[in-house]
Amino acid sequence: MEVLLDTNFIISCVMRRIDFVEELTGLGFHVKIPKGVLQELKDLKTDKKTSRDERQAIDVAFAILEERKVRKVRIGGTYSERKRRGLYCDA
């Protein structure tokens, strides 16, 4: 099963010293990160409202993602393309 990482999840895990990639892969997940999340992390790093601790967490997150070679994916396209890729489910 695949899991897509979210900005808040990444920052929260790093600030709590949780190796989220190791934990998720240990549970059998294939970890992926949307390119939009990477951009959001970069934007947060330069935002004056972002705390020093969060900036440090972002640096650590980038190091973890690079070291573990987490696959970057593009999210987008039409509804049918996203549904085909399993990004939507009908309730």
Range with lowest mean pLDDT among 2-11, 13-22, 30-39, 77-86: 77-86
Q: Report how many domains make up the chain.
A: 1
For 73, the token pair is 């994916």
Q: Is residue 91 pLDDT above 70, yes or no?
A: no
55 domain-assigned:
yes
45 SS3 class: helix
In the sheet that holds 2-4, the strands lie side by side as: 2-4, 30-34, 71-73
The larger pLDDT score, comparing residue 87 to residue 17, is at 17
Residues 6 or more apart whose Cβ sits within 8 Å of residue 73: 4, 32, 33, 34, 35
The larger pLDDT score, comparing residue 33 to residue 81, is at 33
Output the pTM of the full model: 0.77
- Position 75 scores a pLDDT of 83
The span from the CA of 73 to the CA of 39, in Å, is 12
- Position 90 scores a pLDDT of 43
49 domain-assigned:
yes
pLDDT in tens, 41-90: 999 999 999 999 999 999 999 999 999 999 999 887 655 555 666 654 44
The span from the CA of 68 to the CA of 22, in Å, is 9
The span from the CA of 35 to the CA of 42, in Å, is 11
* Domain of residue 12, residue span: 2-84
The span from the CA of 85 to the CA of 12, in Å, is 27
